Amino acid sequence: MAALLFMRYLLLVLLLLGPVSLRAQLYYGRVTDAVSRDGLPFATIRIGQGKEGLVTDLNGYFRIPSSRALESLQISYLGYETFRVNQPKPGDSLLIRLSPSVNALNEVVFSPPYDKIRRILNRTIANRDKHNPDKYDWYRCHVYYKMLADIRLPDSAVERLSVDTSSDARSQYMFLSSQHVLLSETYSIRTWQKPERLQEDVLASRLSGFRKSLFTNLITDILPFHCYTDYITLNAKDYHNPVSKGYSQRYDFNLNDEVIQGTDTLWILSFRPSNATVAGLKGTVYINSKDFAIAYFLATAKDENLKRTVRLEQQYQEVKGKWFPRQLNYILELERKESRVNMENGQDEDYNYTIILKGNSQIDSVSWERDPGFRFDRAHTVRLKEGADERHDSTWLTLRPDTLNHKEKRTYHFTDSIMEVVKIEKYLPYLEKLVEGKVPIGPLDLDLRRLYSYNRYEHSRFGLGLQTNERISKRLSAGGWAGYGMKDKEWKYGGFIEAYGDRYKDFTLRAAYEKDLSDPGRIRLHPELDRTYLRRFLMFRVDETEAWTVEIKKRFGYWTLDLGGRKEKILPRYDYAFEQENSIYTGYEATELTFGVRFAFAERRAPLFGKYYSTGTNYPVVYTRLTAGSLKTSVETPYLKALTAVSWNKHINRVGNERFLILAGKTWSKSPLPLSKLFAGNGFRYDQGAVYAFGGMMTLYPYDLYSDQFVNFYWKHEFDWRFYKTDFSAPSLSLAHNILYGTLEQPAVHKLVSFRVPDAGYHESGILLNN
């Protein structure tokens, strides 16, 4: 009886364990390129003979839990031979190496089901806003970003190095095979709130060989955060998104496969540019039937002229009913060629190599729940937390989603050791200052911009500029400069003192004195618009000015405000006289108070070498400057000047890249003002030719037109298509049109000089050929 009872219990346990053991069966492995051994992202794995299956992750890995034994696995990938694994064993790691297909992508004959493809794409485009992270009211996520830099030699060169027994060859071979050239890691918390509020808080940052972070850019500066925009920007170049309106005009599609995943279907569509005149992408998009969301996206862009290939790989996941990026990969390859002397035969030989940058972002901890206590810092989109670049290895172990492999660990160890030996940290100040056009010399900074300049009045100007740096004080700097004009044989000089209210120098106070030259009527609104370097080059009519100035500047979120005062003596150095109340003057004084505003909604700013720089905005930028002044001759003449401008650059789908600049100004005074206080036309023409630069009139000389009120409009349209594409050129067309209209009261008071008033309007149009 006991034996029978035992057998019954044993049978019951075995029946219970049977399904458990079946459920526990796991098939896993990796799909790689048979040549490079790199993982193939989003390779299709079909289970048995049906349509059920899955795709690999960004690194080529896959996991298949199954309650039954699998008969076979069929692995396919665009551009590779299909591979079949019969009766795979559960629990065994499968390494599947796919060989490139003889029929490459550009040889595939497209005979797709057009109606079905159109339905899939149109439904996906219609649902773009539903799945676009930028359209969500709020989200927060954690982002781990890793960047690797390598140099790849041709196989023949690697083979030659591997058998070369010389010490140099062995060292080079060991270096390239056992470590990366550079390794960088960043861990941040990304917070978004509609509309257009973004904060990237960097908790940890590390760059091999350096103790301090040299730069911490937004992840989206390097690779797009998602593919739900009309254009996908890769390496600062816009490409038409294949999943956007107008796709049929630019891309050919093919439905490669359909995979059943539970109750959903995954459609796999490949795409390529329909002709060579389109700046397009080649790749594959995986669309999930649930709400027609993009689940995976692969795209490659190749620039034959620059010998540059850029590849984008994106994986999405559904988090509590919303789709969101899961992994983002970015691969940049730059082919280079150098001529080197062969030490054996003394002959010049071409030395080919490829610089490779690989970026990988892994995103987790996605939350849709708004934090009511969170405050966005609009002035500093990226914030480097205190001690972020000094995190201990134990902290990094908790932040990394995966541990570093041996090659990555060796990169840190080797590079850190080398940089310590060569004392690289002592050279960093030079790099930091070069961004500002300076070179540190002990406690002083040498201003490189003061060493030499050229204009048509002085011809060459040689000079020197020095100021104290952080070794004396981090919050205060004093300096001076001097320059000598070779044609006018005159010295110009000045001095200044600056105080900084914060470590990023977003709040500055400056007082200065200078005796210099200025061109009369130059419009000074903001350095982003003034094009000082070009106007300085074209300057041939000048005023000698002696000025005392004081200015305070502060950044408030998207606003930049400045308030300043200026007292100056002005002496024209050209034939000019000014009539006022029946008296003639050839010199005068002016005292001014100015207030300037710059507003850039949703502008992104990231730190670079300890200072914040703009990374752009998708919205118009507004500039305004008001000046209240008093002109002193034998009488006092109060006046008011107002300048404003709106600048906007927008890439519009199916239209092209549009660039606009509207500039307007007006003066108010009881008596006429001299030319120096009027508005000169922005002419970029000179005797030997002309310079085209957006924001200037190419057919107008600098001092041809003057007005006391004006409106200036600049427009440029860049077409997306190209006439043709070769390895050497890819010309595209742009159209430009500029308008200037202005008036001037009592032009007769300006003596000895000729100019015109644009009261009938000044128009110029042109066609530009690019690349």
Q: Are residues 570 and 598 in the same domain?
A: yes
Reported as a single tens digit per residue, the pLDDT across 685-725 is 988 888 888 999 999 999 999 999 999 999 999 988 877 77
Q: Are residues 663 and 620 in the same domain?
A: yes
CB contact at 8 A, 256 and 284? yes
Predicted local distance difference test score (pLDDT) of residue 339: 67
Q: Are residues 96 and 204 in the same domain?
A: no
Predicted local distance difference test score (pLDDT) of residue 47: 86
Rounding to the nearest 10 degrees, give the CA dihedral for residues 103, 109, 115, 119: 30
Out of 62, 80, 107, a domain closes at 107
Q: Are residues 417 and 510 in the same domain?
A: no
Q: Does any domain span residue 723?
A: yes
Q: Does any domain span residue 730?
A: yes
Q: Residues 6 or more apart from 375 whose CB is under 8 A from it?
A: none
Reported as a single tens digit per residue, the pLDDT across 54-76 is 888 878 888 888 777 888 898 88
Q: Which is it for the CA torsion 275, 276, 278, 284, positive or negative?
A: positive
**Number of structural domains in the chain:** 3
Q: Does any domain span residue 13?
A: no
Out of 388, 422, 456, a domain closes at 422
Predicted local distance difference test score (pLDDT) of residue 442: 93
Which parts of the chain sit beneath pLDDT 70?
1-24, 102-112, 161, 165, 169, 214-222, 339-349, 727-728
Q: Does any domain span residue 669?
A: yes
Q: Are residues 124 and 90 in the same domain?
A: no
- CATH number of the domain residue 708 falls in: 2.40.160
Write the DSSP symbol of residue 68. S
Q: Write the DSSP string, 533-586.
A: HHHHHH--S-EEEEEEEEEEEEEETTEEEEEEEEEEEEEESSS-EEEETTEEES
Q: Are residues 332 and 392 in the same domain?
A: yes
Q: Are residues 402 and 540 in the same domain?
A: no
Q: Write the DSSP string, 367-436.
A: E-S--TT----TT-SEEE-TTGGG--HHHHHHH-SS---HHHHHHHHHHHHHHHHHTGGGGHHHHHHHTT
Q: Are residues 757 and 628 in the same domain?
A: yes
Q: Which structural domain, as residue segments, surrounds residue 276? A: 114-422
Q: Which residue has the tokens 């009539």?
A: 579
Q: Are residues 99 and 149 in the same domain?
A: no
SS3 599: strand
Q: Does any domain span residue 537?
A: yes
Predicted local distance difference test score (pLDDT) of residue 221: 59
Q: Are residues 50 and 143 in the same domain?
A: no
Out of 49, 77, 107, a domain closes at 107
- CATH number of the domain residue 48 falls in: 2.60.40.1120
Q: Does any domain span residue 5?
A: no
Predicted local distance difference test score (pLDDT) of residue 337: 78
Q: Does any domain span residue 400?
A: yes
Q: Are residues 58 and 165 in the same domain?
A: no
Q: Are residues 77 and 166 in the same domain?
A: no
Q: Does any domain span residue 488?
A: no
